[in-house]
Amino acid sequence: MILEIVKDRGPITGEQIAEKLSLTRATLRPDLAILTMAGFLDARPRVGYFYTGKTGSQLLGEKIKKMTVKQYQSIPVVVNESASVYDAICTMFLEDVGTLFVVNGNGILVGILSRKDLLRASMGKQELESVPISIIMTRMPNITTCNPDDLLIDVANKLIDKQIDGVPVVRDVETDGKVQHEVIGRITKTNITKAFVRFANEDTV
């Protein structure tokens, strides 16, 4: 009813809306606050409330497009580039992840390992404890990464386009005049699913 009144007569003050609904301004205040915070209404001092013209779907889309990586990233699971395939398999199993990020002694990203990489390596007859992961990992610069300030929806599109399960969240550091990536987090399909489920359960729209 509030939205219909504002649509027809906006801009309109809170007192005028309350009068049309035979309510007090104090009774109406929480409802106006919710509609304004949700984006259905906008308010201007000494002018009043007016309808933004946006649908629930549009407002939902706008909120999703503001979600950033740093809000939902999790702790990265890394292995040193000197580790063996056997070590990597154990780490992946114990940490219950689908992707491992390979770093050097300074924590700089040098490679990435997926379940498929390790499965492929284990199908051979070589001794897994003697095979270094550096032989089977995907190396830079053929690694998709993201930064903490990237939009979550953009990373989701990367996962779909590249058909991968997760990407490292990195911070750019300069070493010997060359920009490298320090691993500070991870975003996976699970992170994104949890983010959207949490978002859907919030009573914000």
Same domain, 100 and 33: no
Q: Tell me which residue has tokens 């990203």.
A: 109
Q: Are strands 166-175 and 138-139 parallel, antiparallel or unpaired?
A: unpaired
Q: Let me know if residue 203 belongs to a domain.
A: no
Same domain, 166 and 122: yes
Q: Let me know if residue 205 belongs to a domain.
A: no
Tell me the two tokens of residue 139: 């190396």
The enclosing domain of 169 has a CATH number of 3.10.580.10
In this prediction the pTM is: 0.67
Q: Let me know if residue 202 belongs to a domain.
A: no
Domain of residue 18: give its range.
Answer: 2-53
Q: Tell me which residue has tokens 């409330």.
A: 49
Q: Let me know if residue 38 belongs to a domain.
A: yes
Same domain, 91 and 9: no
- The rounded distance, in Å, linking the Cα atoms of 117 and 166 is 14
Express each pLDDT in 80-96 by its tens digit.
999 999 999 999 999 99
Are residues 67 and 153 in contact, defined by beta-carbon separation less than 8 angstroms? yes
Q: Let me know if residue 184 belongs to a domain.
A: yes
Same domain, 178 and 125: yes
Express each pLDDT in 126-172 by its tens digit.
788 888 998 899 998 889 999 999 999 999 999 999 988 899 999 99
